[in-house]
Structure 1
C-alpha cells in the first residue's frame, strides 16, 4: 500500500516542483491551465500520502511489538530503518543543490529537528521530503510509552478510542483556525504560515495519526475488525480523496481521509490474515512497497536537481509533459531501488539487530474465522 501513497506525493511535486530554493520551477507542461488543473487534482495527494504513512506506521509497529521486547533493540531497529537512507539523501541533496538555500548548513534537517521550527527555510530545506521523518522520530521514541495504555484498552472499547482519536484530529483543526495567527499568508495555501505549520508540520499534532494506526492494529490483533469488503474500503478511500478536493484547509489535510485510511488498512490486513491474496500482495506490488521509502526519499534529487540539470526551462504539450512525468516516475523508482538495495538492505542486515536478539514472533490473532493463523 505504501507505494500508492508515495506515488501521490511524487506526482504532486512532479507537476509543480516548488521548493524554497526554486521559486520559479520548470513545470512539465507549457500550458499554465494544464499545470494548474493537474496541481489542483494532485495537490491533496502530498498531504494525505504523508498522513497514510503515519497511520500505517502506527499499525505496523504495533503489529510487530511483543511484550517483553527490549526498548533498546526496538529503537535500534527503527533508527537503522530510516537513518542510513536519510543521511545519504541529505548529503546528496546538500552537495548537489540544497546548500545554496538551506540555512544552518542543513544540520537541523540532518538531525531531524527542522519540522519543529515554523520557518519554511528550515523544514523545506536540504532534502525537503525528510521533514516527515521529524514526526516519525517522535513516534518511535514515544511508542514504548504509548503502547502501555493502548494495550490496556478493553477490547470492547477499542473502536470507541479510534473514534475519539479522529475526534481529536477535528479539535486540532478547530484550534488551528481559532487560536493561531492568520498572518502572514503562506503562498499557495489557504492557511496562514503559522496555521499551515501547526496542522501539517508540527510533530506532536501528527502523533494523533500514529496513535490511530496503533489502535486499529490492536483491533485487528484482537479479532475485532469486521468483515469489511476490500472493494468498499477502496471506494471509500477514493471518495475521501475526492472530498479533499472540495473541503477547505485545514480539514482536508488529514481529517477527511483518516478514518477511510484506517478502515482500508484494517480491511486489507484482515483479508491477508484470512489467506486472501489481493492485488496489493502480488510480487510486483510487494517489491514496489519495499522500495517505496527509497522512492519517497530520492524524489527531491530527481525533481529539484536532475530535471533542472537535464531539462533546463523545458516545458511541453500535454503528450510530451505526460511522457516526461511517466519517465521521471520510472527514474525515481530506479533511484529508490538503488537506495533500498545499496543502503537500506545492507544497513538492516548488519546493524538492525544484535546477534543475541531472537527474531520477533508473530501475533496470534483472536479471530476464529481466520483461515491462516498469524
Structure 2
C-alpha cells in the first residue's frame, strides 16, 4: 500500500519537474496528478496513525516509542538533507536561506506558511515535519482513544471527518491571495489545508480511531474491494470538487476504509493482491523511496538536460530510468543505512518484537 502511495507522489513530481514537453498543455492531467500526490500523502498520514495503534505494545512507554520513531525517520532525513544541500548548491545553484535550512533540518518547516520554507532543501521533508508532530502527540492521543467505549468509536470518527470537512471553510478566513494557476488555491490555503501539522493530525487521528475499531471488533463497511472501488471513483471525480476540498477531505474516508479493510483481510489471511513478498519488500523501501525521489528527479533532469523537456516517448523512458535509479538508491539506503540504524539504535538491545496482525500493514511507517 505504501509504495503505491509513494509512486503517486513520484508521478506528480515528474510532472512538476517539467520532463514532459506536453505537460504544460494538459492542465487537467497536471491537476489529477497533483490531487493524486496529495492523496498519497494523506494516505501516509492515515496509515501512520493506523499502524502505530495496530502495533502498539502494552508495555511501551512514551520514551521508548519516541526513540523508535526518532531512529526510524531522522537518520534518513539527515542523510537526504545533506544530499539535498549538495544538489542545491552544486547542481541547481539555488541556495536556500539559512533560516529555512535550519527549519528544514529540525523538521519545523511545515509550521510556516511560506512555500519557499515548506519546500526548502529536500522538498518532500515537509511531511516529516508533520509526522514528527504526530509522533510527539501519539502516546497521549492513544491513551485518550483507548478510553472511548468501542460502540462510540464510529461516532468519534464521524466527528473527526466532519472537522476535516470544516477545515476548507476555515481557510476562507485567511488573507486573500492570488490562487495558483490550474490548482485554484492560494499559498496560505495550501499551507493551512495541506501542510499545517495540527490540521493534518486530523488524518492521523482518523487512522488511530480506525485501528481501534478493528482491534475491538467493530465492523468496517464495504470490504477491501468495495473501499478500493470507492477510492477510485472519488479520485476520478476530484476535478469536479472544489479544490480546497479535493486535496484532503474528499479522499480521507475512502482511503481510510482501504487501510482498515486491508488490515482486516491481512488479519484473516485473505489475499488483497498487495501482500506478496515483492510488495512487502517495496513497502520496506518505500520510506527511503519517498525521501530520495524528488532529489533524484532534480539531479537526473539537470544531468540529462537542465531545463529541457522531451517528447512523450522519450520523457516516459527518462521517467522510468529515474524511477529505477530511485528504487535502487532506496534499496541500498534501506539495506546499508536505515535497517542497520534501526537494529542498532531503534530498539532496546537491538531486538525487534513481533507485532499483532502480521504482514505489511504492521510494518514500521
Q: Does 1:45 align with 2:36?
A: yes
Pairing partner for 1:152 from 138, 147, 163: 147
User: 2: CA distance between counterparts of 1:28 and 1:35?
Assistant: 13
- Provide the C-alpha distance between the structure 2 equivalents of 1:300 and 1:356, rounded to a whole number of angstroms: 32
Contact 1:64 1:362 in 2 (8 A): yes
CA contact (8 A) 1:93 1:126 kept: yes
Higher helix share: 2
1:24 alignment partner in structure 2: none
1:120/1:356 CA distance change after superposition, 3 Å? closer
Partners of 2:10 and 2:294 within 8 A in 1: no
TM, length-normalised to structure 1: 0.89
How many angstroms does 1:67 deviate by? Answer: 3.0
Structure 1: which 5+ residue stretches go unaligned? 18-26, 365-374
1:250 is matched with which residue?
244
Q: What is aligned with 2:185?
A: 191
Give the structure 2 partner of residue 169 of structure 1. Answer: 164
Residue 115 to residue 226, structure 1, CA distance change in 2 (3 Å): closer
Contact 2:103/2:109, CA 8 A, preserved across alignment: yes
**Matching of residue 345 in structure 1 with residue 339 in structure 2:** yes
Q: 1:39 to 1:67 in 2, by over 3 A?
A: same
Q: Pick from 324, 329, 337: which aligns with 1:330?
A: 324
TM-score (norm: length of structure 2) = 0.92
Asked whether the equivalents of residues 146 and 212 of structure 2 are also in contact (C-alpha less than 8 Å), the reply is yes
1:58/1:214 contact within 8 Å kept: yes
Report the number of matched residues.
354
The more displaced of 229-238 and 257-266 is: 229-238
Please name the residue that 2:112 is paired with: 117
Counterparts of residues 296-307 of structure 1 (less than 5 Å): 296-307=290-301
CA displacement at 1:37 relative to structure 2: 4.6
Contact 2:45 2:131 in 1 (8 A): yes
Output the aligned Cα RMSD: 2.0
Change (3 A) 1:361 1:5: closer
Moved more, 309-318 or 7-16: 309-318
Query: Does the 8 A contact of 2:267 with 2:357 survive in 1?
Result: no
For residue 81 of structure 2, what is the aligned residue in structure 1? Answer: 90
Give the 3-state SS of the residue equivalent to 2:7 in structure 1: helix
> 8 Å contact 1:213–1:262 — kept in the other structure?
yes
Aligned partner of 1:57 in structure 2 is: 48
Task: Report what 2:57 is aligned to.
Answer: 66
Per-residue CA deviations over 1:275-311 (Å, capped at 9, x if unaligned) read 1122100111111111111110001211112221223
Q: 1:286 to 1:224 in 2, by over 3 A?
A: same
> Which ranges in structure 2 are unaligned for 5 or more consecutive residues?
359-365
Asked whether 1:229 is paired with 2:223, we answer yes
Pairing 1:280-295 to 2, within 5 Å after superposition: 280-295=274-289
Give the direction of change, closer, same or farther, for the CA distance of 1:227–1:276 in structure 2 (3 Å limit).
farther
Q: Give the secondary-structure state (helix, strand or coil) at the position aligned to 1:108.
A: helix
State yes or no: 1:270 paired with 2:264.
yes
Contact 1:103/1:121 (8 A) holds in 2: no
Equivalent of 1:180 in 170, 174, 183 = 174
Q: Tell whether the 8 Å contact from 1:15 to 1:35 is kept in structure 2 after alignment.
A: no
Comparing 61-70 and 162-171, the one that deviates more? 61-70
Confirm whether residue 211 of structure 1 aligns to residue 191 of structure 2: no
Match of residue 29 from structure 1: 20
Counterparts in 2 of 1:273 and 1:186: CA distance versus 1, 3 Å? same
Distance, in Å, in 1 between the alignment partners of 2:352 and 2:288 is: 27
Preserved contact between residue 6 and residue 292 of structure 1 (Cα < 8 Å): yes
Structure 1 residue 92 displacement after superposition: 0.4
Matched residue of 1:180: which SS?
coil
Question: Matches of 1:204 and 1:47 in 2, distance apart?
Answer: 17
